[in-house]
Amino acid sequence: MRPAYSLEEEPLNAELLKQAKLRVPSIPILVNMVSRRVAQLNAGFRPYVKPSGPEEERLDIALREIAEGKLIAEIDFAASDKEENTEL
């Protein structure tokens, strides 16, 4: 198994990041989506898109899934409002 990150490789595909940001403009939400999806892929979950090759980084796969609309974020604002009100 190869290391998750190598200094010789590009850390992520900037074009994929740009496309993913068009779908999910909130950076904190995008970071959470990508990190959770990469963890799922590392745990053996199947990708929702066909990898471009056997060496494609899981980070790039997760970004492509988001950019292509295969992954979406559902935010329940009512639940977060209730949590804030109970803490007061």
Tell me: the pLDDT tens digits for 21-80? 999 999 999 999 999 999 999 999 999 999 999 889 999 999 999 999 999 888 777 766
Sign of the dihedral defined by the CA atoms of residues 71, 25, 12, 35, in that order: negative
* Dihedral (CA of 8, 18, 24, 60) sign: negative
Look at the block and give the residue holding tokens 């009512």: 78
Q: What's residue 8's pLDDT?
A: 55
Q: Report DSSP state, residue 13.
A: -
Task: List the domain boundaries for the chain.
Answer: 14-87
Level-2 CATH architecture, domain 14-87: Alpha-Beta Complex (3.90)
| pLDDT classification of 81: cutoffs 50, 70, 90 | low
